Amino acid sequence: MKRFKKADDIQVGVVGYGGAFNMGRAHFNEMKQAGMTPLAVADPDEERLEIARRDFPGIETYTSMKEMLRKSAVNLITIITPHNTHAPLALAALRAGRHVVCEKPLAITTAECDAMIAAAKKSGVVISTYHNRHWDGCILRAVQAIRKDRAVGEIVRIESHMGGYGLPRDWWRTSKTISGGILYDWGVHLLEYSLQLIDSEITEVCGFAHKGFWAPKTAWKADTNEDEGRAVVRFRSGQYLELTISTIESHPKQGQLEITGTEGAYIFDNPTWELVRHDKDGNSVSTRGKNPPSEGWRFYQNVADHLVKGEKLVITGEWSRRPIHILDLACRSAARNATLKAKYR
């Protein structure tokens, strides 16, 4: 793969500038912090393009990625669009010889991930996913406590969960066809956390889903996401992982991840952590604290250092594929009412 002499030689573009969270602006600012040069924006919405011009005077603007690829000298493209568009857009950019970063999730299906990884290898470019939460303070501390300090002994299981009770918002993220389903939005974050803690090959996934309660009350009707989704993942090591995302959860669980080990349990959400161990008499002893701040800026710094200095890329296409394979298998498993074996390329 061709290297750049310095980070500002990496000319970057984003596809999909606007949306609810001004994500294009946020990505460009992190790219600039890593030394890269914002060059172009593609978005079909002229109002969003005008915002981009105000945010970054002189920025090139296009109404489609196809036009950007034809006219712009961008080296790296970040795709910030609905989930079901990630794969076709990324494949076009990869085949045009551009490095690509996709917002989470990388894609909806394992087959899409495999096609993207293959296209990147054929073109000699990078495919990555914006897993900035890989560097959240909560997981950085958990990795230190659990994998390095062995605070809970050997990991037996991880239970990851998020949800509450209420009618989901009517936007594209609640469309099953567009988003992939209820597990894909936050579930991909919780899986990426979990896969930093369990270092073993996935062997099988069993999925469960309940749907149809909220659907009649939404704009998407039958295409509405599941009311609740669950994945149970078995690893070759014998460890297992549960992921549950719910909009019918009347009694939300503590934390986002609970790691049970042979010598204790570690529970965390973004701001806080708790460690439960036992004294010599077998009594539970709980210690609590606040997590350090996020270091999400390290994602683009790592991408820049990989492209300039050859440093190891942390969020590779293969790493990004793992949570998608789990989610894909879970959805197919729930539909078939059967456990499915994992497959590696």
Tell me, yes or no, whether 129 and 214 share the same domain.
no
pLDDT of residue 19: 59
Q: Is residue 13 a contact partner of residue 77, using CB atoms and an 8 Å limit?
A: yes
User: Residue 20 has what pLDDT?
Assistant: 53
pLDDT, tens only, 142-151: 999 999 999 9
Q: Same structural domain for residues 190 and 267?
A: yes
pLDDT (0 to 100) of residue 39: 98
Instruction: Judge if 183 and 82 occupy the same domain.
Output: no
The proportion of the chain whose per-residue pLDDT surpasses 70, expressed as a percent, equals 99
Instruction: Give the pLDDT band (50/70/90) at residue 1.
Output: confident
Provide the pLDDT confidence category of residue 344 given band limits of 50, 70 and 90. confident
Q: What is the mean pLDDT of residues 266-292?
A: 97
What φ, ψ does residue 261 adopt, rounded to 5°?
A: -125, 180
For residues 306 and 287, state if they share a domain. no
Among 103, 152, 150, smallest CA distance to 127 is for 103
User: Would you say residue 192 has pLDDT above 80?
Assistant: yes
Is 236 in the same domain as 259? yes
Q: Quote the number of domains for the chain.
A: 2
pLDDT of the residue at 307: 98
Give the pLDDT of residue 2.
85
Question: Can you give the CATH number for the domain in which 202 is found?
Answer: 3.30.360.10
For residue 290, is pLDDT > 80? Answer: yes
- CATH for 36: 3.40.50.720
Is pLDDT at 244 greater than 70 in this prediction?
yes
**Has this prediction a pTM greater than 0.85?**
yes
Whether 282 and 158 map to the same domain: the answer is yes
Determine contact, residues 97/119, Cβ cutoff 8 Å: no
Would 2 be classed as within a structural domain? no
Residues 255 and 153 both lie in one domain: yes
> Does residue 1 lie within any of the structural domains?
no
Q: Tell me if 275 is assigned to some domain.
A: yes
| Half-sphere exposure (Cβ direction) of 180: Cα atoms closer than 13 Å | 29
Let me know if residue 191 belongs to a domain. Answer: yes
Q: Kindly report the average pLDDT of the chain as a whole number.
A: 97
pLDDT band per the 50, 70, 90 thresholds, residue 162: very high
Specify whether the CB–CB gap between 180 and 206 falls below 8 A: no
Q: Is 125 within the bounds of a domain?
A: yes
Q: Tell me, yes or no, whether 319 lies in a domain.
A: no
**pLDDT tens-place string over residues 2-40:** 899 999 999 999 999 975 568 999 999 999 999 999 999
* Mean pLDDT in residue range 123-136: 98
| Domain with 149 in it | 136-292+324-341
Please give the distance of CA 300 from its chain centroid, rounded to a whole number: 15
Domain shared by 279 and 222, yes or no: yes
Residue 164 has pLDDT above 70, yes or no: yes
pLDDT of residue 18: 78
Q: Can you tell me the mean pLDDT for 277-303?
A: 97
What strand order describes the sheet that includes 99-102?
A: 60-62, 37-42, 11-15, 76-79, 99-102, 127-129
Residues 101 and 142 in one domain: no
- Residues 158 and 261 occupy one common structural domain: yes
Mean pLDDT of 155-164: 98
123 and 164 housed in the same domain? no
Q: What is the pLDDT of residues 86-120, one digit of tens each?
A: 999 999 999 999 999 999 999 999 999 999 999 99
Residue 230 located in a structural domain:
yes
If you average pLDDT over residues 163-173, what whole number do you get? 96
Q: What is the mean pLDDT of residues 55-71?
A: 98
State residue 345's pLDDT score. Answer: 59
Judge if 214 and 177 occupy the same domain.
yes
Identify whether 165 is part of a domain.
yes
